[in-house]
Structure 1
Amino acid sequence: MFIDAEKTPVLTPPMSLERRLAAEHQSLNLVQRILSLFRSVGPGSDLTRLQLPPQFNLPKSHLQCYGESVYSIAGDLLGQCSEGKTSLERITAVVAWSISTTRPLVFGVSPYNPILGETHHVSRGSLNVLLEQVSHHPPVSALHATDSEANVELVWCQSPLPRFNGKLFLITMINLIIVLIVIIILKIRSLAGSGVEAVIKGYRRLNLLSHGESYELTAPSLVMKLLPMPGAEWNGTVHIRCLESGLQAELRYHRRSAVLGLGGSSSAVHGRIFHRDSKQTLREIRGRWDGEITVKDLASGKVSLLYNAKAAIAQLETPFLRNPEVLLATESAVVWAEVSAAVLRRDWDGAREAKRKVEEEQRRRRAERENEGELWEPKFFRITQSKDGDWECFPIASNVPPAPIVVYS
C-alpha cells in the first residue's frame, strides 16, 4: 500500500558526530520536560506501558537510527570489506566497518518506538537497505541490505533487552528515560551504581559473496546511568567471527569508571584479531570509536590507521525523497511525519495529539486482527523464535530493490 499524495514524509539529519539533532533537543527547558511526565505518570501507573512525552523524543524512529548506522556514512567502509586480498585483510576491514556503526548517544531523548509492520527503505549508491519491525512486544527489528557492486549482503535481527543495575524493575527500551527521571524525582533509595544496560540480543551477519565468507557480529550494550553523573555510553565486548577462515576479533567498549564517573574514557575501544584454533593474536586494535583507532600488525610491528570517526560519521547528508509514487505507507518517515513535524517546531500539544493518533490506529488494527482471528505476518521477512526466546529473521527476497528514499554517496 502506497501513501496518499497529500502525505509528506519528514526526513531529518542522521545522528552524526556533531550530534546536530541532540543539540537542538538538549536546549529545551529541563523543567518543562520533566513536568510533561506528570501527564503520563500517576498513582499506580504501569511504567512498562507508558509512552514517552514528545519532549523526550528525537524526530525519528529507532528503525531509522538502525538504518542510518548502515547507509549514513562518508566513504564506503562496507564495500571495502570485499576488497582485501587475504582473509586477515578482510576481517580487519569488517572490524573497521563494525566500529563505524557505533553512533553518538544522547541522555534524555529517545527515538520513537517502531510500530508493528513499520518499514524503512533507503538507498545509497548501489547499497539498498530495508528494515521492518517484525515484533512490537518484545520489540524486534529486522534489516536486510545488499550491494550489487561490492557483492555484499547484510542481515540483522536484533532486540534490546533492558537489564537493571540496582533495585529497579524491567521495562521496555522506549521507557528507559522515563524511569530514570522518575527515579530521580521520587528520590528512591540505593541509587548508587543504579542504571540501565540494554543488551542488544540477536545477530548481525555480513556475507562477502565474492569470497564465500560469512561473518557473524554482535553489538555493544547501551548503558544509561544515573550516578555519579547521568549519561549514556556504549559498553561491553563485540565478537566478530568468520565461519570459513576461523579468524575472529574481539572489541571491548569501555565505560567510565564507577568512581565519581571521572576515570577512563567513555569511548575507548581495545581489541584484537586472532585465530580461533591457535588463539594467537595477529593484530591489536586501540583507540576511540568517536576519534581515531589504529591497528598494529604483530608480525611486522607496523601500526596503521584503521578508522577515523571524523572522516566517517561527521557532517552526514540527510536522506531525500526521490520517488514519492512508490513510497510505502508503512515507511517510518510517513508513519511519524505529523509527530516529527510538530516536534521540530516544538509544538508539543500537536506532537502529543499526532502521537496519540498513531497509537490509536495501532490498537484499532490489532483489535481487528483479534476479532477476525488473523495472525499478523511480516511483509519482507520470515521470523522464528526459539524456546529460549531468541529470534531469527530471514529475508524473503534475495536482493533489496532500490528505494524511493536516497542519500548521496
Structure 2
Amino acid sequence: MLSSQRIGLTVAQVCEEMTVVLTPPLALEGGLAAEHRAPNLLQRILSLFRNIRPGSDLTNLQLPPLFNMPKSQLQLYGEMIYCINEDYLSRCAEGSSSIERFTAVVAWSLSMTRPAIFGVAPYNPVLGETHHVSRGNLNVLLEQVSHHPPVTALHATDEKNDIELIWCQHPVPKFYGTAVEAAIYGKKQLKLLKFGENYEMDSPKLLIRILPIPGVEWVGNVRIQCKESGLEADICYHKTHSFLGFGGNSRSVKGKIYSKSETIFEINGHWDGTVALKDVHTGQSQIIYYAKEAIGKLATPSVKDPKGLRASESTIVWGKVSRAILDKDWEKAREEKRSIEERERMLKRERNSNGEVWVPKHFNLTHSKECGWECSPIERTVPEAPIIVPCPKENKELLIQ
C-alpha cells in the first residue's frame, strides 16, 4: 500500500521554494468576488461547452487557468466552516433544550451558504491534498481521499464545546445545454457530544446558468435530521420569479421544522439577508440568521507556523498557480498547472506498475451502492493548525493595541 505522504512535492522541496498563497474567502461583501474579477468569460464558456453533449458528467473536465479562481475546492469547503464572523457553530451547543439546539443547527447550516463567482471554479484537488486551519477552539482538517471520482473528507473538532464535524463530499457536475448543475453527494454530520446528538444534513445544488442570463444560484432541497430528538427540517433553496421568469430573487429559502410530521416552525427568508422562524402555534416570529453579520467582509486566513505546513497543503500545492493567476500571467499559470497534472499522472502510473494501492493518511474510506462514499477520521481530534483565522474579537483587540 502507498501512503498519502507521497504527494507531488517532498518536504525538502517545500522548504527550499515554498510559495504559499492565501486568498480572501467568498463573502457576502468584499472577499474574493470583489478582488478577483475575471475577464468577460461568456464567449469562452460557450466555446468550452460547444463539443460537450447535454447530460454529460463534467467531473473530469480539466479547465484552463483562465477559468480557475486562485483557490482549491478543499479551501472552499473549509471556508464554509472556519471563515465566519458570528460563531453560529458554538451556539448549537449552547441551547438548553433539543428544539433550541436544533434551530441553532438550522441557522448554522444557512451560514455555510456562500456566494459563488460566475465563470470561474476552484482547482480540482490532487490525490492526498490536505487543508488544515484553526479558528479559536475549532480545528479543521480536509483531505482529498479520492481523485476519480473526486471525494473530499472533512474532520473538525472543538474540544471546548464538545463539537465534532465529519463530512464526506462527492460533487457531480453535469452539463444540460444552457446550464451546469453540480450536485454534492455525501453525508455531513454535526455531533454535539455532551448531548449525545448527531445531526445529519445534505447540501443544496449549485446551478450555473449560461443562457439566457448568466448567473449562479443555489437550488434544491436540504434535509436536516436528528434521530435522538426526532426533529427534522426541510429547507428549499429557490428563486422567486418576476415578469416572464426574469429578475426576481435567486437567494430565497423556505421550509419547516417538524417532529413526527407535525410542523413546529416555518422557515422563510433569504440566505443573503435574514431568515426568520415562525412558531405555527403562537404566530410569533424571530430572526435566526443575519447574513450580513455572519458572512460579510470575512477575514483571510494567515500562516502562523510556516514550518508546520505539510507538503500536501492546498496553499502550497497550488501556490505557484495561484500567484500566476493573481498576476494575470496566464502562460505561467498554464505551465504550473500542467506541471501539477503531469506529476499526478506520473505518480498514478508508478502506483499501477508497482501494484500499489493509495491509502488516505487521515481517514478510512468506504464505498457501497447503498450508502455511497463514507469517511471516518482515524484520529479522535484534529490538532491545532499552522494556518489560522482570527476571530472578530481578536481583530478588535489587535486594533486597540
TM-score, length basis structure 2: 0.88
Percent identity (aligned) = 53
| 1:255 counterpart SS class | strand
| Correspondence 1:64 to 2:75 | yes
User: Unaligned 5+ residue runs, structure 1?
Assistant: 169-193
Partner of 1:370 in structure 2? 352
Alignment partners' CA distance in 2, 1:280 and 1:41: 49
Aligned residue among 87, 98, 104 for 1:87: 98
Partner of 2:197 in structure 1? 213
Deviation at 1:139, TM superposition (A): 0.8
Aligned residue among 38, 44, 47 for 1:34: 44
TM-superposition CA deviations, 1:183-230 (whole Å, max 9, x none): xxxxxxxxxxx3222111111000000100000001101111233312
Given that residues 27 and 33 in structure 2 are in contact (C-alpha distance below 8 angstroms), is that contact kept between their aligned partners in structure 1?
no
| 1:267 counterpart SS class | strand
Matched to 1:354, the amino acid is E
Pair 1:63–1:201, CA change in 2 (3 A): same
Partner of 2:139 in structure 1? 128
| Correspondence 1:268 to 2:235 | no
Deviation at 1:342, TM superposition (A): 0.5
User: Unaligned 5+ residue runs, structure 2?
Assistant: 6-10, 392-401
Q: Give matches, 1:173-252, under 5 Å.
A: 194-252=178-236
| 1:198 counterpart SS class | strand
| 1:266 counterpart SS class | strand
| Correspondence 1:328 to 2:310 | yes
Matched to 1:96, the amino acid is A
Matched to 1:60, the amino acid is K
Partner of 1:391 in structure 2? 373
Matched to 2:131, the amino acid is H
TM-superposition CA deviations, 1:371-405 (whole Å, max 9, x none): 11100011100000003571000000110000010
Partner of 2:390 in structure 1? 408
Deviation at 1:55, TM superposition (A): 1.3
TM-superposition CA deviations, 1:124-160 (whole Å, max 9, x none): 0000000001111111111000001111000110111
| Correspondence 1:280 to 2:237 | no
Partner of 1:51 in structure 2? 62
Deviation at 1:263, TM superposition (A): 5.2
Matched to 2:383, the amino acid is P
Deviation at 1:51, TM superposition (A): 1.8
Pair 1:12–1:400, CA change in 2 (3 A): same
TM-superposition CA deviations, 1:229-274 (whole Å, max 9, x none): 1211000110000010100011110035497542542000011110
Alignment partners' CA distance in 2, 1:366 and 1:320: 32
Alignment partners' CA distance in 2, 1:43 and 1:218: 29
Alignment partners' CA distance in 1, 2:250 and 2:294: 19
| 1:368 counterpart SS class | helix
Question: How many residue pairs align between the two structures?
Answer: 377
Pair 1:256–1:345, CA change in 2 (3 A): farther
Pair 1:224–1:376, CA change in 2 (3 A): same
| 1:239 counterpart SS class | strand
Aligned residue among 321, 340, 354 for 1:358: 340
Pair 1:258–1:302, CA change in 2 (3 A): closer
TM-score, length basis structure 1: 0.87
Given that residues 256 and 267 in structure 2 are in contact (C-alpha distance below 8 angstroms), is that contact kept between their aligned partners in structure 1?
yes
Aligned residue among 149, 158, 161 for 1:147: 158
Q: Give matches, 1:291-310, under 5 Å.
A: 291-310=273-292
CA RMSD of aligned residues (A): 2.4
Given that residues 61 and 113 in structure 1 are in contact (C-alpha distance below 8 angstroms), is that contact kept between their aligned partners in structure 2?
yes
Alignment partners' CA distance in 1, 2:352 and 2:390: 43
Matched to 1:247, the amino acid is L
Given that residues 59 and 173 in structure 2 are in contact (C-alpha distance below 8 angstroms), is that contact kept between their aligned partners in structure 1?
no
Pair 1:48–1:241, CA change in 2 (3 A): closer
Alignment partners' CA distance in 2, 1:48 and 1:208: 34
Deviation at 1:35, TM superposition (A): 9.4
Pair 1:48–1:128, CA change in 2 (3 A): closer
Given that residues 380 and 396 in structure 1 are in contact (C-alpha distance below 8 angstroms), is that contact kept between their aligned partners in structure 2?
yes
Matched to 1:227, the amino acid is L
Given that residues 253 and 268 in structure 2 are in contact (C-alpha distance below 8 angstroms), is that contact kept between their aligned partners in structure 1?
yes
Given that residues 320 and 407 in structure 1 are in contact (C-alpha distance below 8 angstroms), is that contact kept between their aligned partners in structure 2?
yes
Given that residues 228 and 258 in structure 1 are in contact (C-alpha distance below 8 angstroms), is that contact kept between their aligned partners in structure 2?
no
